[in-house]
Every structure is written in structure tokens, then in C-alpha cells.
Amino acid sequence: MSQSTAPLSTDPRPDLDADDVPPRIDAPDVAVLEELLLGRWAEDRRASRKLAGQERFHKIEGMSRDDHRERVLGQLFDLVAEGAVHRAFPEEFGGRDNHGGNIAAFEELVTADPSLQIKSGVQWGLFGSAVLHLGTEEHHRRFLPGILDLSVPGAFAMTEIGHGSDVASLGTTATYDPEAEEFVVHTPFEAATKRYLGNAALHGRDAVVFAQLITRGVNHGVHAFYVHLRDDRGEPLPGITVGDDGQKGGLNGIDNGRLAFDRIRIPRTHLLDRYGAVAVDGTYSSPIESPGRRFFTMIGTLVQGRVSLTGAAVAASKVGLYGAITYGNQRRQFNASSPIEEEVLMDYQLHQRRLLPRLATTVALNFAHEELLAKFDDVFSGADDSDENRQELETLAAALKPTATHHALDVLQECREACGGAGYISENRFTSLYADLDIYVTFEGDNNVLLQLVAKRLLQDYAAEFKDADFGVLSRYVASQAQSTVMHRFGLRRALQSVQDTGDERRSANWFKQADVQRELLAERVRQSVADVAGELRSAAKLPQAEQARVFNRHQAELIDAARAHADLLVWEAFDDGLSKVEHEGTRETLTRLRDLYALTRIEDSLDWYLLHGRISVQRARTLSPYINRLLERLRPHAQDLVEAFGYTQDEHVRMEVSSGAEARRQDEASEYHRKLRASSEGPVDEKVLQRRAAKQRRGARR
Amino acid sequence: MSQSTAPLSTDPRPDLDADDVPPRIDAPDVAVLEELLLGRWAEDRRASRKLAGQERFHKIEGMSRDDHRERVLGQLFDLVAEGAVHRAFPEEFGGRDNHGGNIAAFEELVTADPSLQIKSGVQWGLFGSAVLHLGTEEHHRRFLPGILDLSVPGAFAMTEIGHGSDVASLGTTATYDPEAEEFVVHTPFEAATKRYLGNAALHGRDAVVFAQLITRGVNHGVHAFYVHLRDDRGEPLPGITVGDDGQKGGLNGIDNGRLAFDRIRIPRTHLLDRYGAVAVDGTYSSPIESPGRRFFTMIGTLVQGRVSLTGAAVAASKVGLYGAITYGNQRRQFNASSPIEEEVLMDYQLHQRRLLPRLATTVALNFAHEELLAKFDDVFSGADDSDENRQELETLAAALKPTATHHALDVLQECREACGGAGYISENRFTSLYADLDIYVTFEGDNNVLLQLVAKRLLQDYAAEFKDADFGVLSRYVASQAQSTVMHRFGLRRALQSVQDTGDERRSANWFKQADVQRELLAERVRQSVADVAGELRSAAKLPQAEQARVFNRHQAELIDAARAHADLLVWEAFDDGLSKVEHEGTRETLTRLRDLYALTRIEDSLDWYLLHGRISVQRARTLSPYINRLLERLRPHAQDLVEAFGYTQDEHVRMEVSSGAEARRQDEASEYHRKLRASSEGPVDEKVLQRRAAKQRRGARR
């Protein structure tokens, strides 16, 4: 460690170092930082971490699928016994109407076993939540107690083999029969088979089934129905075919499976009819007139899954980084700078490059997730459940869930590789967490589909800006867009930059580390990307629909890029807001530099865009990577403090051999052995040393 | 499919399309392409694919670790019975001295089960190969028969807990005792415990152990020793402690474990003494005087592992792409361009962007691996085993192994995500292959360590160019380098580009698709990156060693980038050479465009570098992504042909539900159901349609 904080006088490039990078960063206060990262629902997180730290909840690597499924079911009963699952439910059912705290607590279970987190999510977050949010009081009274105490494990039967993300196109039908006052639930073709449902293969007694509601010859779109699946002995009821999805890439503690219905009949009252009811005579009614809006309101409860996956992904990233950075601070390899002692891995620039930007992004996502959770709580608690806030919540979740879940895979893979072969052994959990979290990127809304939702929202917002503009304004705007290959709104700013660069290259880093420069760069990328695509789409507005779709398709990749850039900006804003509250100086300074690292590595990743759009001059851009490298050197001494501040403990939550201290003990033992050998006269001499001596003697003899 | 080959007249940007992208690409001849991709050792590949296609060799997903280990051991005996393991060994032991064909055949086993490939590699590629290459004829006669017929399964005991990639620093000692004429093999501290060794936990009877050879008080460096591990009942011999590495991220069909030695004694003759011998009296002798060169010669046999991992990674990438592209051509989702039929996934630009560049890279790596294999065969057959060719082989392997193995993980992950939830189910093998191949990126030489070897070689070559130059030349060169932020050797070329761009933007794509432009761009990136770092290092040449090491460390990330760029260039050259041999026009045209796609996506990935170094003008760079997108549209109709040309069959090698045709059958059934419903008068009407009709009537009434 001492090397990276050595005095700067030995730096071979002092001209770039002197006044633009702090020579050292004050240490953060770990306790202060931990509290900050725990956020508003610290108490719920702590309580859940305490549970998750208990051995009975821990995943046992290599356990058979059958045993793992039973173990996780048992853990769910333990959670019930601990009173850990009621937070989000109404007080009359033993709950606390604590929506944010509930999600926070569930997220923390991921450190024990992601199967536990997800199976809990299926039972209480999806199945229970659907009854709570889509059902009425009568449904609550009938169904919630059994769901809450787990006497009725259930499935959330939405996805079909033929349709995942496109819920509106589901094939399952529920046709009302007024004679019998029953719905006939049916799987009309194989593609409509419900699939990948947790609790379906084995444990699910009941299910909430999503199907096209048909009454009096009209299809009112997808609605939710409460369906009994199995009898008391666990056998599927007549007309219900159950299948087991078998082995999966991960999450094998969950019994995912499939369901098909052969015209089974359920009572009329099993329609969860808060947003759409069918009277005895078959008359349909709904408080929401527009079928489209009704549909989106009903599937709006899905947002809570996205929120909790975001938080769980951040938690898993922290566990991975704790393991790899702790190991990187102990593991020695090769001896570049000293013939005796090898370097610690974290001293290598490449290792810093691999781990520290990912650490910065993880901290950034911690803050961003906290904002998402607060918005979620506002909406679900009713504090602010306006349509606008609901939409904002959905867009924010659609931006952050893909960002955080893909980030977690990236972090876990890099951490596993950074630990070499040890990273591959299951006792180090990287591969296990990766395998379990892999599915997070495509379930509860495929990441790419979610990013397209974000992109569409960005286009809508962009269009709304010009809603009241007359045609002249619009056409002028479009015209200026069309010219953007050579000129754009920021042409002036670019010119100023260039002047500054020519004047003094050293000031470049001072520019990059300004918060408003970072914000502006990240924001401009979103604005301009959206404007560019909007311009293209506008020019196709008069073509036939199929052609418009083609034009849209030809910009799909750009739109996804714009959505990602938007997420980067949101995350940066949250990070910047979050650190502004910190009073302890060292903590704020470390976080500020970590924010810089986050912003600048995001900008570095799309540096071609900034250059192509003239947002950063070539001269300035050339200083970016060297500046980031120096930032890494300055942050590196605090890496261990930062992962300690995540608040996870080695024994309870991390549980990896690489971070247990065993590596340092082995290194010490080996060093001591070599030290003694060198000190004694008995140790063997290296052949290389002998040859060097002989060569010296020969030279001496020749003289 | 028809949409992407629709006439161009509807293209909203005809100005960019007309003359720079071929309106359509002739179809490849699948049989011709298959033969080309099979390469020089087609016969060995076909024979091995035939075996790998048999059910008895297939991985059973979800099998317990114990059962999987026994199954794979049994498969190894089956391989022996089939005469499939002798190819590389001398004729007197039943072999055929067929080194290239041997590797090609082993690579193909990966489609059956990567555990089978790697356990075979441990037995015959590492353990057997060490005896063959490091031992003498006496060792061959004594040990090879048992190794070849698997009556003696063995471990390759090189890696230790404390040292993976840094083999020279191993801690295990083998000290010669002239009294007893024995070596004393010892693990002096815990970090020297041998670890992650295939066959060590259970099946290994013997092992080749790498240890510091000490005789007469001199340490002659790491040598290989033949050591008995277990008795006939499978119990470890006295003084040998065996451990089991337990569950791993993948490859659980292999019994990886650890070995520690407590002063065990082995006969003097068990030193594999081809490159270093100890006489009865303890006198050491070696045909290679330099201990450094001797060491690198001995570990030179490791290159064959790197070669075979490269090929296996390419094979696994092909299997993944076959699955995901076949599914992408059948799966429909959302209906952007038609209210009735949904789009096939491969019609989406994003899906093309996700899969086709990876397809292009896979084909490129196929060609590159073929060249690697040819060089390997030259060296190991003795056709050209000059030091220079050996070094070239090692550098090529060090460049391609990281490229191909990281590529395979990237491909498998993207393919799994491109199949959504289905991609996560083990019956679709993406996650299983990913988990098994994960370790390929860090074993047999950690990818980042190998890339550093490549980078060092590039620096050496660069320095050699100036070896005979006088100081004046050198300093002038350095001076011109120092100016490279504003001026460089290619300043003139940049200027010419800009002129052309201003003249006619349409010509830009014509520029990008020229082979020598692609070559030059890829080559310049290597040359200039190396020159930049060399300049920095040169300026630090007079500093103390520790400071020099620091300067080197500060450019580690750049060096890795340069090594990656070098690999890109090598792969491109191989692709370009490979396609030049093709006579069938459509095949050549498809491959040429695929080569363009490979080159241009590599360039796009480091576009910031090209812009920062003035190698591509901003105007031209702006046309790159749109051009790639159009290339994707043109290649997309041939995607299925391309994956078919890999020569793997669904039933024998791919074995995924997603590519079985089941998805298309389900889609057809669902379409037929909806078609009938629309045709009949009984189908329900959508509420949305009713509302639209009602609104129309209201408007009519008001008029």
C-alpha cells in the first residue's frame, strides 16, 4: 500500500500530477459511510441482515436440487416464524404498511441464498402482492392469511412459453359462463402453457393466473384469477397439468415449473376484481375505462419485483467486491519492484482498473437504488401515488433494474477472475452468485425490453417539449438537428474547451472533476441521442405504419444506448445528491472522488460519442484515461475501507475463503520460511546466482 | 426474413445506401463453408464429432458431483476403447505422431461435456504429455503404456495455492539425497500445497509434480518428478495428504483436489530428466545452460493446453450461436410492423447487433485457431521447431487463448439472454457451457497474464527494430513520439481522409470495406500503442529498478489494450487469408462481408482511440455505425446458413430445446388457432375494438 501513496516527487510525469489530482485523499469514516449506505430503511436492513447471517438460511453449495428445494421451503417457514414477511401488508393482517422497508429487507436475503430471496419474492412479493393489489377486501380476508403464514404456497402464473415480456398477448383464456357463475380457465394451445413459475413444480397449492377475460363475447384483456392447483395431498386438481422445469442455470432452490389448464372451472368470485369486475349476469365493469390504462395499472404491481431485484443486485455486487478486494489486498504475485517481496494484487494498475471502477459504480447504484426505493414507498404507501409519480417510478425502475442487474453479473465475473482459480471454487461463492443472479437480467422484465420502455419514455418527453410549438419552431428545430454532424448547440462550448486546452493541459483534470461538467456531459449524451433519433423518426412520420416500424427498428440500438446513458445520468445524480449530505470530511472527499471515478469511467466508455459530437475536444479527451489512472492510485488505499463500509461481515454474509484472512496467513508463513532460509547458511543457493558469480569471476580473471 | 431483404426504395436514408452496401449478398454454399471451417484436420474432427455425438458421452444436467465424476472417468475408458486418445503419441505406443489432429479431436469433445474434454486433457494432454516431453525413453517405456490405457490415471501437479501463473516461484522442493539416491519431495509451507489439480481428489494413481530441484546445496529451479500418489486400493501413500476442492463453478465431472507432501521419497530416476539430470553423486547437468531458458523450455509443453482451450472455446461459441440464432429465427415477439403477426427476433436490429458480430468473430476465430493449430503441429511434429517458431507459437497462443475464451463466455451469456427465460433452463445448455468454460479464462495461463506476455513481446520486437540504431536516431524517434498528441506519422493520411469526406460522404463505406484499410487501421492501433508505451518506458530507463517497475505498472492497462489490439489484427489476418482461398462466389461474398463486420465492430469498439489518434476523421467515423447496421441487415438472411455450416447437428451436438424446432411448431399452432378464431364468427371481440367502434359512432352522431 505504501507504494501507491509514496511522495509524488518520483512520479515520472509530474507535469500532469502537480495540481490537478489531490496528492492523497483523506480516509473515510467507515461507520459514517456504512450508515449512509444503509439509507432510510437501515433498521429493516439490519434486522434482515441479522437473519440472513444465520447458518440455517445459508445456501449449501453442491446440494442436490431436491434437497435444496426442500431446504428453501423450510427457510420460508422460518421467515414466517421470525415475523419477517409481513412488513408490506395491512395492519389487520399483522403487517406494517412498510413498503420500502419490506423491499429493503427482502433484498438483504440475497446474501444468504438468492433462491431464498426469489422464492420469498414469489410467495409474498408476487403471489401475495397480486391478491393484495388486484383483489378486493373479500379476497384479502379469504386468501391473505394462508399466503402470509405459508399454509398456502402459491404461484404467480403470468409468463407463458410463447410470451414472456409481452404480457398483453398472453394466450390463456378465462371465459365467463353465466349459467354456472364460473370462469372457464383454458390453455388453448401449447404456447399458452404457463412456464418458469416458482412454486409451480412442487409446492404451489394455489396460484394467481393471468388470462384474457372473456365475457359476453368480448375480450377485456388480461386479468388475474385465483386458482386452486393442488389438493391436500399435493396432487394436481383435475384438468391441471403440471410440469417441472428441472435443472436451471441457478436458483435451483426454487421449484420452477409449468401449468396448463384444460377448461377448469373457478367461481366468479375468484376474479381479482379491483380493476375489472364481472357481474353475475356477465356484465363487465371497470373503474378504468381505457383497456390499455387498465392493463398497465394491473401489471403495475410488477414494479416491486424490479425494485427488489435492483437492490439485491447491488447487495450481491457488494459481497463480490468485498471478497475480491480483500483478497487483492493480501494476495501477492510476481515481484516487479522488489526481488524479495512480491506485489500485492491491488497494487497493480490493471487490478485497480478491474475492481475500483466497479466499486464506484456499486456505491453509485446504492444511492440510486435508495431513491428508487423512496419513490416506490411514496407510491405504494399512498403518500404520492399520482399517475405521474407512478409513471416516474416505472421509468426509474425500468432504467435501474437493467443497470444494476447487468452490473452485478459484470462485477461477479470480474471478481471471480480477479481471484483466479480460487474464484472458481464454490466455497468462494462468485460463480454461485453469478449463476443465481444470471436470470435477474431477463426476468421481471427483460433488461433490453425495459430499456426500450425507457427510450420510448425519453422520446415522449422529448415530443412533449414541442407539443405546443407551431410548425415553424418544429421545422427549425428539426433543421438544426439535421445539421448536427457539423454544428450543434454546443459548438461554442467546444471552442472554449479547445482554447483552454491549448492554454494549459494541466487544467484539463480540473475541468473533468467539476460536478457540473460531469452532469452536463452525461446529460448532453442523453439529450442529443434522443434528439438525433427523434429527428429520424419525425422524418418517417408520414410513411405507412409498417415502414415507420422499420425506421424505428433501424434505430433500436441507438435508443437502447440513449436509455443506458439516461440510467448513467440518473445514477450520477443520485450519487451526487447522496454525498452532498455527508459532513465528515474524509468520507465526503472519498465519495467525491469515487463519484468522479464513476462519472469519468462512464464518459470514457462512450468517449467516441463525445468526440463524434464535439462535446469533448481531442486534447482534453487524451488526458481522461491518465487522469482516471491517477484517481485509481489515490482511491486504492481506501478500497478496503470502502468494502468494509458495506456493513457485511465475513462470517455472516461474505463467507468466502479468499476474504477469510487465510491467504494472508499463508503468505506470512511462506515469507517467514524464505526469510529464515536466507538468514541461515543452510538454504540452497540459486543456480542463477551461482552463474552470475562465476561470470563475475571470469571477468575478473580476464582483467 | 422478407422484410430485411425488401427493396431499398422504401429506405428513408437512400443517400447512404445506394452504392456503398451491396443490396443483397449471395448465399453461401453450406457444404463448401463447412469444409473450409473444418480445416486441415477435418478427418480427425469428424471422427471426434461422431464420438461426441453419442449419448454415452453427453453431460447429464443436474447430475450429482459424485456421479458425474464417475461418469466422466468411465467416458475416458470409452475413449481409450475407441482408440481416440493416442494420436499425439509415438508410433511405438500405438500413436500416430499427429499433433494437430490430436488437439483438433480433443477440442471437439467439448460439445459432449467440457468435463470430458478437460479430464482427457489432464490425463493425456498434461500428465501424459509431461512424461512424453520432459521424460526420456526409459520414462516413456515405464510410464506411457499405463497412462495411455488409463490403468494409471494421473495428476499434473504444478499449481500451488500460493502460486498460479508464476510457476518459477513454486514452493515445493525436491532435494536430492545422494546416500539414498532419492529425491525428498516436500511441501515446506501451506501456500506450497498443490491445488486445483484434476485427478488429485479421487482418481489419480500417480502424478507429475513440479518442484524446485535442489542438489548439492544449489537450487536448479522448477523440474518435473514422477510421483506415486495412491496404492492399489486408492489410499494415499504415507506422507501424502490429499484434499478435495469440492464443488466448483463448473466442470464438476472432474475431481480437482490438492496434494501436500511430507518429505516423501522417490527414486532418483523419477526425475523427468530430458532437460536437467542429476547423477548418482548429485551432480546436476542440463543440455540448456541458462536456467531461465531451461525453465521456459520445460513449461513450453503447456502451450498445447492453450491451443486446445482456444479451439474448444470456438466450438462452444458455435454451439451457443447455433442455439440462439435458430431460436431467433423462429421466436416471435411483439408486433411492430403488422397487427397480426409478430416479428421474428432476428428481424430486430438489436438482436442482429447482439448476435451477428459475435457470429462474425466466431468465424474469424475459427480461421485464427486453424493457423495456431498449424503452427503448433509444425513445432511439435518437428517440422519446424526452431526457437523462433516456438516463440511465435507461444506468443500466438498467448494472444488467441485469452481472445477465444473470453469471447466464448461473452457469446454464451449473450445467447442465453437472447433466449430469455428459456436460455436459463439447463436443457438449453447455455448456462451449463458458460459455467464449465468460465475457468478457461484463468487456467492454463490467466488471460491477463498471457496478454502481458504478448505485450512484452510486442515491446521487445519494437525495441529490436531500433537495436542497431545510433543514439541520434533513437532520440529523434522518441522526440517524434513525444509530439504524438498533436502530430504523428499519419497526420497526412488524416488530412486526405478529411478532404474525401467533405467531398462525398457516401464514399465513406467504400473506404471502410477495403481490406487494406481494415488491415492498416487494426495494425496502426497496435504499432502506435506499443510505440506510445515504449516511449514512456524509455524515458524511465535511468530510474532505479523499483521506479521503473512503477512506471511500467502505470502503463499496464495500455499494454493489455495493445495486446488485445494485436490479437484482433492476427485474427483479422487469418480471416482474410482464409476467405481468399474460397472459390464459390456466394460463400466468398458472405465471408467477405462477415470479415468486414468483424473488422468494423473491432474498430467501432475502440473508435475513441482512432479519433484521439487522428486515424479516422470525425466525419468518417460518424458513418461507421450506420454502415455496420446496414451490413447486419444484409448478413441477417444468411445467419441460419452460417450456423448450419459449423457442421454440428441438433441431435448430436447442440441438443437444445430452443433449436429443436419446437418453438416454431408452437408458434404455428398458436397462429392457426388465432387465424381460425378470426375467420369464425364465434371468437370474442376485443374491448378496444368495441370502444373504437363506439367512438366512431359517437362522432358520426354528432355530425
| Residue A45 CB-half CA count within 13 A | 23
Specify the pLDDT at position B268.
98
3-state secondary structure of A249: coil
Residue A518 maps to a domain = no
The mean pLDDT value for B594-601 works out to: 98
Judged by a CB distance cut-off of 8 A, whether residue B547 touches chain A is: yes
* pLDDT at residue B543 in the model: 83
Q: Is the CB of B612 less than 8 angstroms away from the CB of A629?
A: no
User: 3-class secondary structure for A174-222?
Assistant: EEEECCCCEEEEECCCHHHCEEEECCCCCCCCEEEEEEEEEECCEEEEE
Helices vs strands, H then E, count in chain B: 27, 14
B581 and B643 both lie in a single domain? yes
Give residue A507's pLDDT band: very low, low, confident or very high (50, 70, 90). low
Q: Does pLDDT of B520 surpass 90? A: yes
Chain B residues in contact with A409 (beta carbon < 8 A):
413
- Cβ distance of B169 and A342 shorter than 8 Å: yes
User: Hey, are the CB atoms on A669 and B189 less than 8 Å from each other?
Assistant: yes
Residue A230 lies in a domain: yes
Q: Is residue B181 part of a domain?
A: yes
Classified as helix, coil or strand, B267 is: strand
Q: What is the pLDDT of residue B461?
A: 84
CA distance to A245, A306, A443, A678, B11, per residue, from B423 (Å): 12, 20, 11, 56, 34
Looking at residue A320, its amino acid is G
Q: Which residues of B touch A258 (CB under 8 A)?
A: none
pLDDT digits (tens, 9 = 90+) for B352-372: 999 999 999 999 999 999 999
Cα–Cα dist A346/A353, whole Å: 10
What is the per-residue DSSP string for B408-461?
HHHHHHHHHHHTGGGGGBGGG-HHHHHHHHGGGGTSSS-HHHHHHHHHHHHHHH
Contact B425 A246 (CB under 8 A): yes
Give yes or no for residue A171 having a pLDDT over 60: yes
Helix, strand, or coil (residue B329): coil
Collect all residues of chain B within an 8 Å Cβ-Cβ radius of residue A327.
Answer: none
pLDDT of B499 strictly over 70: no
B133 in a structural domain: no
Chain A neighbors of B412, CB-CB under 8 A: none
End-to-end CA distance of chain A: 45
Mutate to test the interface with A, among B66, B183, B417, B698 (most CBs of A within 10 A): B417
Do B449 and B356 share a structural domain? yes
ipTM comes to 0.92
Question: Mind telling me how many Å the CA of A342 is from chain B's nearest CA?
Answer: 10
H or E stretch including A437? Answer: helix A430-437
Contact A629 B557 (CB under 8 A): yes
What length does chain B have?
A: 703
Please give the Cα distance from B246 to A66 (Å, whole number): 19
Test B417 with A348 for CB contact under 8 angstroms. no
Give the Cα separation of A691 and A26 in Å (integer): 49
Report whether A172 contacts A160 (CB < 8 A): yes
Better-predicted residue by pLDDT, A581 or B425:
B425
Confidence of residue A495 (pLDDT cuts 50, 70, 90): very low
Q: What is the pLDDT of residue A502?
A: 37
Spatial contact of B78 and B54, defined as CB atoms under 8 Å apart: no
- Assess if residue B166 is contained within a domain: yes
Q: At what angle do helices A349-381 and A624-635 cross, to 10 degrees?
A: 80
Segment B644-666 shows an average pLDDT of 97
Q: How far is the C-alpha of B159 from the C-alpha of B192, rounded, in Å?
A: 9
Contact A171, A192 (CB under 8 A): yes
CB contact burial A538-572 (16+ within 10 A = b; e otherwise) = bebeeeeeebbbbbbbbbbbbbbbbbbbbbbbbbb
**A464 shares contact with chain B (CB less than 8 Å):** no
Residues B571 and B632 in one domain: yes
**B285 found inside a domain:** no
8 A C-beta contact, residue A153 and residue A69: no
B629 vs A195, A485, A554: nearest CB = A554
Q: How far apart are CA B13 and CA B11, in angstroms?
A: 5
Which of A3, A424, A623 best tests the B interface by mutation, with the highest count of B CBs <10 A?
Answer: A424
Residues of B in contact with A442 (CB under 8 A): 417, 420-421, 423-424
| Separation CA B5–CA B637 (nearest Å) | 8
B161 reaches A (C-beta below 8 A): yes
Q: Which residue carries 468520507 as its cell?
A: A587
Look up residue A585 and give its amino acid: E
DSSP code at position B288: -
- The whole-angstrom separation of Cα B371 and Cα B353 is 28
pLDDT (0 to 100) of residue B507: 65
- Return the residue matching grid coordinates 507504494: A3
In chain A, the number of structural domains is 1
**Cβ atoms A170, A211 nearer than 8 A:** yes
Same domain, B649 and B561: yes
A593: Cβ contacts below 8 Å, ≥ 6 apart = A22, A25, A631, A634, A635
Q: Do B516 and B650 fall within a single domain?
A: yes
What is the domain-level CATH number for residue B560? 1.20.140.10
User: Which pLDDT does position B402 carry in this prediction?
Assistant: 98
Residues of B in contact with A247 (CB under 8 A): 61-62, 425-427
Are the CB atoms for B572 and B602 separated by under 8 Å? Answer: yes
Structural domain includes residue B592: yes
Closest CA to A422 of A358, A328, A316: A328
A contacts of B422 (beta carbons < 8 Å): 161
pLDDT digits (tens, 9 = 90+) for A8-67: 333 333 344 444 556 788 899 999 999 999 999 999 999 999 999 999 999 999 999 999
Inform me whether the C-beta atom of residue A502 falls under 8 Å from chain B C-beta atoms: no
CATH of the domain at A175: 2.40.110.10
Which residues 398-437 on chain B approach chain A with CB closer than 8 angstroms? 409, 413, 416-417, 420-427, 430-432, 434-435
For residue B63, the Cα-to-chain-centroid distance in whole angstroms is 27
Q: Report residue A500's pLDDT band, with 50, 70 and 90 as the boundaries.
A: very low
Residue A168 has pLDDT above 90, yes or no: no
B552 contacts A425? CB cut-off 8 A: no
Residues B245 and B330 placed together within one structural domain of the fold: no
Determine contact: B247 vs chain A, CB below 8 A.
Answer: yes
Cα A424 to the center of its chain, rounded Å:
23
Q: Contact B421/A546, CB-based, under 8 Å? A: no
Per-residue pLDDT, A22: 63
A684 CB neighbours in chain B (<8 A) are: 175, 212, 214, 217-219
Nearest Cα of chain A lies from the Cα of B257 at a distance, in angstroms, of 11
pLDDT surpasses 80 at A487:
no
Helix (H, G, I), strand (E, B) or coil at A667: helix
Q: Give the helix/strand (H/E) hosting B265.
A: strand B264-267
In DSSP terms, which residues pair with A4 in a beta bridge? none
Residue A477 neighbours by CB distance under 10 Å = 17
Q: Please report the pLDDT score of residue B462 as a whole number.
A: 83
Q: What count of Cα atoms within 13 Å lies in the side-chain half-sphere of residue B235? A: 4
Give the nearest chain A residue to B427 (CA atoms): A247
CB contact under 8 Å between B338 and A546, yes or no, is yes
Q: Provide the β-strand partners of residue B215.
A: B218
Instruction: Give the orientation angle of helix B30-38 with respect to helix B42-52, to 10 degrees.
Output: 100
CA distance, residue B36 to nearest chain A CA (Å): 33
Q: Is B244 helix (H, G, I), strand (E, B) or coil?
A: strand
Pairing label, strands A218-228, B154-157:
unpaired
- In this predicted structure, the answer to whether residue A475 has a pLDDT above a threshold of 60 is no
Contacts of A547 in chain B (CB under 8 A): 10, 12
Q: B611 to chain A: which residues are within 8 Å by CB?
A: 608, 611-612, 618, 621
Chain B residue with minimum CA distance to A340: B169
Q: Please, are residues A442 and B417 in contact by the beta-carbon 8 Å criterion?
A: yes
Q: Is residue A436 part of a domain?
A: no
Q: Decide if B500 touches A, using CB distance below 8 A.
A: no
Is pLDDT larger for residue B532 or for residue B594?
A: B594
* Helix H or strand E encompassing A418: helix A387-418
Residues from chain A that touch B165, judged by Cβ atoms under 8 A, are 333, 420
Of B426, B552, B619, which is closest to A336 when you measure between CB atoms?
Answer: B552
Q: Cα separation of A180 and B618, whole Å?
A: 71
When pLDDT is averaged across residues B655-676 and rounded to a whole number, the result is 94
**B182-186 and A685-686 beta bridge pairing:** unpaired
pLDDT the model gives residue B14: 35
Residue B22 — pLDDT band, cuts 50, 70, 90?
low
Q: How confident is the model at residue A570 (pLDDT cuts 50, 70, 90)?
A: very high
For residue B521, give the C-alpha cell: 487501421
* Bridge partner residues of B209 (DSSP): B157, B225
A483 at B interface, C-beta within 8 A: no
* B408, B413, B419, B425 alpha-carbon torsion, rounded to 10°: 100
Nearest to A550 among B3, B425, B553 (CB): B3
Cell of A251: 436458483
Q: Is A188 on the interface with B (CB under 8 A)?
A: yes
Q: Is A234 on the interface with B (CB under 8 A)?
A: no
| pLDDT, mean of residues B464-473 | 50
Q: Name the residue among B165, B349, B687 with its Cβ closest to that of A220.
A: B687
Q: Cβ B409–A413 below 8 Å, yes or no? A: yes
Sort A60 into a burial class: Cβ within 10 Å, 0-12 / 13-18 / 19+.
Answer: middle
Q: What is the pLDDT of residue B6?
A: 32
CB contacts, 8 Å: A337 with chain B: 545-546, 549-550, 553
Q: Quick check: B340 contacting A, CB < 8 Å?
A: no
How many C-beta atoms lie closer than 10 Å to residue A488's C-beta?
20
CB contact under 8 A, A441 and B336: no
Please answer yes or no on whether A442 and B417 come within 8 Å at the CB atom.
yes
The three cell numbers locating residue A2: 505504501
Identify residue B536 by its one-letter amino acid code.
Answer: E
**Closest partner CB to B421 (pick from A430, A442, A553):** A442
| Distance of alpha carbon B107 from the chain centroid | 11
d(CA A427, CA A662): 13
Sign of CA dihedral B93, B96, B102, B105: negative
Give the Cα separation of B42 and B33 in Å (integer).
Answer: 12
Q: Does residue B4 register a pLDDT over 80?
A: no
Whether chain A has a CB inside 8 Å of the CB on B553: the answer is: yes
Whether B498 has its CB under 8 Å from any CB of chain A: the answer is no
Host domain of residue A258: 156-294
Q: Do B254 and B364 fall into the same domain?
A: no
Identify which of B284, B435, B686 has the shortest CB distance to residue A435: B435
Over 60: is that where the pLDDT of B378 sits?
Answer: yes
Question: Which residue from B minimizes the CA distance to A413?
Answer: B438
**pLDDT the model gives residue B479:** 37
Distance CA B220, CA B434 (A): 41
A560: which chain B residues are within 8 Å (Cβ-Cβ)? 350
Torsion angle of C-alpha atoms A174, A177, A180, A182, degrees rounded to 10: 20
- What average pLDDT does this structure show over B549-576? 93
Cβ atoms of residues A26 and A586 within 8 Å: yes
Cβ contact, residue pair A427, B221, below 8 Å: no
Give percent of chain B above pLDDT 90: 75
The answer on B525 and B416 residing in a single domain is: yes
Interval A319-357: pLDDT, tens: 999 999 999 999 987 665 555 556 789 999 999 999 999
> Does residue B548 share a domain with residue B472?
yes
